Chain A
Amino acid sequence: MKSMTVKKALGLLRKHDISPIELVDMCHRRLKETTNLNYMVHNIPSQLLHKHARIAEQSYVKGSSKALDGIPVAFKDNFCMRNIPTTCASRMLLNYKPPYTATMVEKVAQAGGIIVGKTNMDEFAMGSGSVDSCYGPVVNPWNFALNLQGQESILDEESSLSDWFISGGSSGGSAAAVAAGACLAAFGSDTGGSTRNPASYCGLVGLKATYGLLSRHGMIPLVNSMDVPGIVTKTVEDSAILLNAVAGHDVRDSTTVQEKYAPFEIDDTFDVSKVYVGIPREFHTPGLSPEVLKLWKATADALEQAGAKVAEVSMPHAKHCLNCYHVLCCCEVASNFSRYTGIEFGLRCGSEESTEDLYAESRHHGFNDVVRGRILAGNFFLLRRNFDRFFLKAQRIRRLISNDFKAVFSSGIHFLLTPTTLTDAPSFSWFSQKDNRTRSAEQDIFTTAANMAGTPAVSLPLSNSQRGLPLSLQLMGPHFSESRLLSLAYWLEQQAHFQHLDLDFLDRK
């Protein structure tokens, strides 16, 4: 499983060296072996998986296989699947079974992908640790390989699980599922870094595509103007395979762009010497760990030594990203979350004597503190007397941030290289010392900018920290530059030889 990637699996399936049923069973066994990581909140029953696997098998026998035939894929629990519980890890939606299916899910299924389950997350994708879920926190699969003392003790004795590394969030379940080997690829969502952050902490490639490239239809919204589906895979090539299978215009999402999407393959002859890479100086912030800084420098130097032009650039408004994101997010949340009343769907509890009381009580019991806090703050910023002062102010700053990107890319810079996170995966005990807002502000510090500007960004693991956890960097490019962005990411990946998490010993038990 360790070395099994989407690309490799497709090769083996085509040569009939492995059958879709075997592949699905391998993933299912791994899921069973790692349930204590709590990354999956709804499993598709194995009979159904086998049914889909047999259909995929037929395609391979007939030689008419599709892009993802037989590939096990998981979805974050904020993607709607018809008649399958879709909860956003919130008590509000525990009883919700959508009457329709998200476009991303539909496209994966149409391409032959086998959907194995729904993954755990921060409630309504609000968070950066996957610890604020009504199902409890997600545990980083790397805990299997090491513990806080760096000794070789693992999670098999649950009693010894006093402290552990978090998976990052909010799509922590999706990242953990891929890292553990319960699927070969997973979808998350990325509003301020929610796919790249857990990908970084779990040693995976996390892609946030250009806003408008992937359909949001059926992905339960957090911040409509920034949400994009995210792709989590082990390798850059896999990321491209998944992107090709799902990208393009969707008549059900008017914010997807109408140009025809041109599928691409990773260019393994990509000429790095023709690339101009910018290092935004404002992304070296206080709190950046020496290990991440060292990796950042080593990578920038490696690019330069390979002939790329590397230059320090300035994005003067980047430092206001988090505060700006904070206001815009609360405002869109206040508006978006008014749909949860308990009447048409979702939790309904409390007084049946007054509509308002019923709404208030249902929302009180349905939402956690984080969600309630953002709704209240959002409604404060949207009050008539505050609208200009906070909401429009934040929207103005958003333009300045977006202009920073435009200026850098029009100056000749092709890509930006930055850290994804300040450190390697934090421990649960450290992470839970501060509240969700404080942690989100630290955790999303390098990732929100791409959401503000709508640009594509990819986080990729390149090295390990001293305690053995993955360390990652982020590449960002101009709108719709995915093919070149991933080709550069592939080049870096090839140089780095990052060792993926090896849990194959679990199968031998």
Chain B
Amino acid sequence: MLRVACKRLRVFSTRLDCLFNFQHCAKDFKPAALYASKVPDKPTVDSIDYDSLPELPEIDLALVEQLERISLVEFNNEAGLLRLREAVKIANQLHLVDTDGVEPMDTVLEDRECYLRSDNVTDGNCVEDVMSNASKVEEQYFVAPPGNIPMKKRDKDHLSNILGKKEEEDEDS
């Protein structure tokens, strides 16, 4: 009995070797003859009905200026603007999904109480540590230039091809 089991095990293990090292023995191995594999033969393809999607929001000069102002980074060039357009296009495909009555999910820990430590001081006296990475300090203060001065407005000529007809407004401003 034991011998039979051992023999079967050996047969089994060589077969498994064969399964994995299929680059050497793929020709001998025909899983379909033994099992109908549970891995589907054909990919799942969804045809996207683009017509059902809401219209893409327009990206105009006002929007570009607003995003640059709140992001404090600039669209370097037209490629940057095209990148935003593409990002919005991809996001728009979310509207293929019906989410009526579905609550937004912030975190996978939503069913748990997150840890709150007691309100005791656990560290401190680390001013030097905290300041150690600042390029400019004075008397243990971080130094920033004056606030309340809006960013210099830069012309958007480098984006004009994409912003297209908005060129005139650009000149006005």
- Output the least CB separation between B150 and chain A (Å): 7
Q: A360-B73, A386-B57, A396-B102 are in contact. Are A282 and B44 (CB under 8 A)?
A: yes
Task: Indicate if A285 sits at the interface (CB-CB under 8 A).
Answer: yes
B145 pairs with A369, CB closer than 8 A: no
A395 pairs with B104, CB closer than 8 A: yes
A312 pairs with B38, CB closer than 8 A: yes
Instruction: Give bound CA distance, A256 to B13, whole Å.
Output: 41
Task: Indicate if B43 sits at the interface (CB-CB under 8 A).
Answer: yes
B99 pairs with A396, CB closer than 8 A: yes
Q: Can you list 27 A-B contacts (CB < 8 A)? A: A97-B132, A99-B129, A211-B109, A255-B114, A279-B39, A299-B20, A300-B38, A304-B35, A319-B46, A354-B152, A356-B151, A357-B145, A359-B72, A363-B72, A364-B76, A367-B73, A369-B79, A375-B71, A376-B68, A376-B84, A377-B88, A397-B102, A399-B104, A399-B105, A402-B105, A495-B13, A498-B20
**B contact face: mostly helix, strand, loop, or mixed:** loop
- The A-contacting residues of B in range 81-134, CB under 8 angstroms, are 83-84, 86-88, 90-91, 93-97, 99, 102-109, 112, 114-117, 126, 129-130, 132-134
- Output the least CB separation between B21 and chain A (Å): 7
- The B-contacting residues of A in range 221-270, CB under 8 angstroms, are 225, 249, 251, 254-258
Residues of A within 8 A of B (CB): 95-100, 211-212, 225, 249, 251, 254-258, 279, 281-282, 284-288, 293-302, 304-306, 310-312, 317, 319-320, 323-324, 326-327, 330, 334, 341-346, 348, 351-360, 363-364, 367, 369, 372-373, 375-377, 379-381, 383, 386, 389-390, 392-400, 402, 435, 437, 441, 453-454, 462-466, 479, 495-498
Chain B residues with CB below 8 A from A441, complex form:
90
Q: Give the top 5 A-B pairs by smallest Cβ distance, nearest first.
A: A454-B108, A395-B104, A345-B133, A99-B129, A354-B149
Chain A residues with CB below 8 A from B109, complex form:
211-212, 255, 257, 454
Chain A residues with CB below 8 A from B87, complex form:
326, 330, 373, 377, 380, 437
Instruction: Give bound CA distance, A373 to B109, whole Å.
Output: 29
Q: A99-B129, A326-B87, A437-B86 are in contact. Are A372 and B80 (CB under 8 A)?
A: yes
Instruction: Give bound CA distance, A377 to B108, whole Å.
Output: 24
Q: Contact partner of A393 among B29, B73, B95, B143, CB < 8 A?
A: B95
B45 pairs with A299, CB closer than 8 A: no
Best-buried of A306, A397, A454, A462 by chain B (most CB within 10 Å): A397
Q: Contact partner of B145 among A330, A353, A381, A398, CB < 8 A?
A: A353
Best-buried of A100, A377, A395, A400 by chain B (most CB within 10 Å): A377
Instruction: Give bound CA distance, A9 to B93, whole Å.
Output: 50
Instruction: Give bound CA distance, A311 to B36, whole Å.
Output: 11
Count residues of B near A (Cβ-Cβ below 8 Å): 83
Instruction: Give bound CA distance, A466 to B26, whole Å.
Output: 11
- Output the least CB separation between A450 and chain B (Å): 10
Task: Indicate if B147 sits at the interface (CB-CB under 8 A).
Answer: yes
4 more A-B residue pairs beyond the given contacts A211-B109, A251-B117, with a C-beta to C-beta distance below 8 A: A294-B26, A302-B20, A344-B142, A373-B80
B67 pairs with A319, CB closer than 8 A: no
B43 pairs with A344, CB closer than 8 A: no
- Output the least CB separation between B13 and chain A (Å): 8
Q: A95-B133, A375-B71, A393-B94 are in contact. Are A301 and B37 (CB under 8 A)?
A: yes
Chain A residues with CB below 8 A from B12, complex form:
305-306
Chain A residues with CB below 8 A from B164, complex form:
none
- Output the least CB separation between A374 and chain B (Å): 8
Instruction: Give bound CA distance, A332 to B105, whole Å.
Output: 14
